[in-house]
Amino acid sequence: MSVIDTSQPPSQPAKKVAEFSSPLLLGEHSLCPGCGEPVALRLLLEVLQELDIVQRTIGVVGHGCYGSFVRIMDVDVLQCLHGRAPSCATGIKRVRPDRAVFTMQGDGDMVNEGLQEVLHTAARGEKITCVLLNNGVFGDTGGQLTATTVLGQRTKTSLEGRDAEAHGHPIPVADLVAGLPGTAYVARGTVATAGSVAQTKRMLRRAFEAQLSGAGFSLVEILTMCPTGWFVPAPDGPGYLADSMEQAYPLGELTT
Amino acid sequence: MTLELLEGSTAIARSAIAAGCRFFAGYPMSPFTGLLENMSQQMPAAGGVCLNAESEIEGVNMTLGAAAAGARAATGSCGQGIALMQEAIAEAALNETPFVVFNMARNQQDYFQSTRGGGWGDYRTITLAPKDVPEAVEHTQLLFHLADRYRAPVIFYGDPLLAQTRVGVSIEALDFGPLPPKDWVLDGTGGGTGRSRQIWTWAMGKATDPGPGPDGHWRAIADKFDAIDKVESRFEQAHVDDAETLVVAFGSAAKFVEYVVDELRADGHRIGWFRPVTLWPFPGEALAAATAGVRRVLVFELNAGQMLDDVRIHAADRSAVRFIGGVSIAESGLAYGELMDAPVIRDRILAAITGGARP
């Protein structure tokens, strides 16, 4: 056991964890205060670094607020059509099987527009990692109902709250994917608390490990705060997420 | 040169692989199915991948991904399935991802779809319409070259005759000259260098290295297609110099027209034919020159009159243009109807010459 030498000041001054910045970030994000997506981006970039795959990784990014991340992430990226990221990633991985390939998609992108793509890609057992940033609302267009909007959630297209009779039920896509034989790893995390951030990072790491070992398809759903789209004050986002989305979408690993 | 007796779909698949195609994805639909089956059977031995995609939309987006990663890639379908692919074809035109789309069409009703496009934005798709299987073999390889040269999706306009006719052909790799380096490909090595690569229709670049953005990028794309329009049009013509009547047709229909015109020449008629080999860019200047001295320009195509628009735009005298084609579909819906027949075409041409043509 090594003992920290306290006879001298440390060679580097102390830094708040919150001030750490991934060297893969090329600039500041432009999303709303209280948004969970930049935290998820940071976790993803940290995992790429820790696995030492930065220079053999290709990302495919869909359409949502997180789409602006392609300007600030120092990773080779294809910005693809809405919902089609798993198909594009399939083409990339099949011709470059030695690369790590991931998608970054929101709930509108993956569960509304691209449900077919993600299900078939999982069933084919494509060795890619899909990252779903699920805030249960179309954030980019200002807060409308998505396929994952939880019952009771008010949106601009469900002003009185999502009602199953009128708007249908939300789709737990990670659970669907977890039931498919081609799937190697599926987990659902969040970035609402410090503890859940650490847990979600471990999930991302395991998902990429499943891809790199050739085990099959992997998906990590990350519940992210969208106080703007939920019409709550920014500081209330994490608590609101725990009371609403976490109740509908339990956290944890969904594959054994 | 050794000739082999091959079905069109087999010959086209082998030609694509000879051109270096190593990724193919498609969804079965007659008469495209034969090409997909051949690709599926031949690609593994070439070290490539062929995926039986779950939909045309998935197939074309897989192809876009493979092309973005640097492979020579292709997809295909028939007009109806190509309709589903339009979003991705437009996207690839605007984000400059090159691949080949094989439209093994059921008829000639996809001319507008090929030359006008169904996607959004200011783009065009180079479209080659071979008249027979040997030309299809050559066009297949030329299309991969043109796609890479211009970083754009391109279209092969085929039909049931090209897909299903057995012809003696020779398949070997053709050299169309040097190509620009693929220095834009996403190979995954850019991460962490500060110069990571990006393929993005909006071309906004990285925070540290801004791109032109949509305004500048889409202007450049439009300029690129203008430049292609000026240099890539191809055509064939015969008996034009002394012709009083010129018949314009494309694809398989042009092969029938060529035969009929030769017959009518032998009978003493002053008649010639003109065939756009590229549907886009349309060989407008060449058609203007070919129609300068003629009394009538007859357009024969198996649809309600689609190429007719381009002929009217470019003919020296548009009042001389007459349409002698029409919709003609076999009872199955999968092939040409009775209009694709030399005696019928001959009757329609003669009727037009004697003044009975439909306006």
Average pLDDT value over all residues in chain B: 96
CB–CB contact B208 A26 (8 Å) = yes
Buried b (16+ CB within 10 A) or exposed e, B170-197: ebeeeeeeeeeeeeebbbbbbbbeeebb
- Is residue A250 scored above 70 in pLDDT? yes
- Is residue B80 scored above 80 in pLDDT? yes
Predicted confidence band at A66 (pLDDT cuts at 50, 70, 90)?
very high
Best of B43, B198, B209 to disrupt the A interface by mutation (most A CBs within 10 Å)? B198
Give CA–CA dist B38/B57, Å, rounded. 21
pLDDT in the model for residue B187? 98
Average pLDDT value over all residues in chain A: 95
> Does residue A198 lie in a domain region?
yes
Q: Bridge-partner residues for A76, per DSSP?
A: A58
Q: Which of A8-22, A38-52, B77-91, B303-317 is least confident? A: A8-22
Min Cα–Cα distance to chain B from A193, Å: 28
> Does residue A196 lie in a domain region?
yes
CB–CB contact A91 B196 (8 Å) = no
A11 vs B224, residue with greater confidence: B224
Can you list the domains of chain B with their CATH numbers? 4-169 (3.40.50.970), 235-353 (3.40.50.920)
- Is residue A5 scored above 90 in pLDDT? no
Min Cα–Cα distance to chain B from A78, Å: 5
> Does residue A20 lie in a domain region?
no
Residue B142: CB partners within 8 Å, gap ≥ 6? B128, B174, B176
Structural domain tally of chain A? 1
CB–CB contact A87 B58 (8 Å) = yes
CA separation, residue A183 to residues A129, A175, A222, B111, B146 (Å): 10, 11, 17, 42, 39
pLDDT in the model for residue A3? 79
What number is the average pLDDT over the span B92-99?
98
Contacts A24 to B, Cβ<8 Å: 191-192
- Is residue B180 scored above 80 in pLDDT? yes
What number is the average pLDDT over the span A34-45?
97
> Does residue A10 lie in a domain region?
no
* pLDDT, tens only, B3-25: 999 999 999 999 999 999 999 99
CB–CB contact B194 A116 (8 Å) = no
* pLDDT, tens only, A227-241: 999 999 999 999 999
Percent of chain A with pLDDT over 70: 100
- Is residue B359 scored above 50 in pLDDT? no
pLDDT in the model for residue A111? 98
Percent of chain B with pLDDT over 70: 99
CB–CB contact B66 A74 (8 Å) = no
- Is residue A93 scored above 60 in pLDDT? yes
Task: Report the residue from B54, B186, B194 with minimal CB separation from A78.
Answer: B186
Contacts A73 to B, Cβ<8 Å: 196
Locate A147 and state its tokens. Answer: 């396929």
CB–CB contact B65 A96 (8 Å) = no
pLDDT in the model for residue B356? 54
Give CA–CA dist B4/B18, Å, rounded. 15
> Does residue A133 lie in a domain region?
yes
B279 three-state secondary structure: strand
CB–CB contact B196 A73 (8 Å) = yes
CB–CB contact B66 A94 (8 Å) = yes
> Does residue A154 lie in a domain region?
yes
A19 vs B8, residue with greater confidence: B8
- Crossing angle of helices B8-18 and B33-42, rounded to 10°: 50
- Is residue A18 scored above 80 in pLDDT? no
Best of A70, A128, A130 to disrupt the B interface by mutation (most B CBs within 10 Å)? A70
Task: Report the residue from A56, A57, A91 with minimal CB separation from B64.
Answer: A91
- DSSP labels, chain A: ------SS--SS----GGG---TTB-S---PPTT-SHHHHHHHHHHHHHHTT-GGGEEEEE-SSGGGGGGGTB-SEEEE--TT-HHHHHHHHHHH-TTSEEEEEEEHIIIIIITHHHHHHHHHTT-S-EEEEEE-SSBTTTTSB--TTPPTT--BTTBTT---HHHH-----HHHHHHTSTTEEEEEEEESSSHHHHHHHHHHHHHHHHHHHTT--EEEEEEE---HHHHTS-GGGHHHHHHHTHHHHS--EE---
* pLDDT, tens only, A119-137: 999 999 999 999 999 999 9
What number is the average pLDDT over the span A176-188?
96
- Is residue B350 scored above 60 in pLDDT? yes
Angle at the Cα of B121 (from B116 to B126), degrees rounded to 5?
A: 40
The parent domain of residue A182 ranges over: 31-253
What number is the average pLDDT over the span B202-231?
97
- Is residue A10 scored above 90 in pLDDT? no
Phi, psi of B113 (to 5 degrees): -55, -40
- Give the predicted TM-score (pTM) of the model: 0.96
Q: What is the CATH number of the domain that holds A206?
A: 3.40.50.970
pLDDT in the model for residue A1? 62
> Does residue A140 lie in a domain region?
yes
CB pairs under 8 A between A and B: 155
State whether residue B74 sits within 8 Å of chain A by CB.
no
CB–CB contact A92 B208 (8 Å) = no
State whether residue B65 sits within 8 Å of chain A by CB.
yes
